[in-house]
Amino acid sequence: MNEDDIRLVRKIAREETHEILDTEVWDIILEWANEEEIGIRAFKQRLGRDKGVYAHASVLEETFAILKFDSQEGAKIGAYEVAYKTNNLEDKWSHAYNILRQSNSTINSRYHGEGYVHNYWLYGQDRIYRQKLKPRVST
């Protein structure tokens, strides 16, 4: 084999390797990584519940933000918003409600995750409340 033949064989080998990675291996690796991520989230939630804390990070705020909220004002807590069951799509509202119910979210134990703009809680069977989070002050 001369140098041109060796370069051609190496080029073909590289192309075939990349094609195999693209069509077979990367999908398997990505699927495995997604399964690992799901398992880690479930573990964190289970660990949090065992310690009396609920791990909120696995739920995106979009789950709640898609609901229609009405503005309210309270003497003690100030501005807040309410999403009524009757004013929202049943499946979207129920999904958000169930997350808050399972995490025992109340006005004194509000639900929020990393990067959330609002915190959320339940009061009654047909309402979801939210209020803007106050910025954290670093000391």
Per-residue burial over 22-37, b if 16 or more Cβ lie within 10 Å, else e, is eeeeeeeeeeeeeeee
Q: Give the pLDDT confidence score for residue 53 in this predicted structure.
A: 47
Instruction: Measure the CA–CA gap between 70 and 38, rounded to whole angstroms.
Output: 34
Band (pLDDT 50/70/90 cuts) for residue 54 is: very low
Instruction: Measure the CA–CA gap between 45 and 39, rounded to whole angstroms.
Output: 10
Instruction: Measure the CA–CA gap between 80 and 89, rounded to whole angstroms.
Output: 21
Q: How high does pLDDT run on average in the chain?
A: 84
Structure tokens at 105: 């979210």
Closest CA to 104 of 51, 44, 52, 42: 52
56 compared with 91, residue with greater pLDDT: 91
- The kind and range of the H/E element at 81 are strand 78-84
Give Cα 75 distance to the centre of its chain. 32
CB 45 within 8 A of CB 94: no
Q: What is the pLDDT of residues 93-134, one digit of tens each?
A: 999 999 999 888 999 999 988 888 999 999 988 999 999 998
Q: Looking at the predicted structure, is the pLDDT value of residue 55 above 90?
A: no
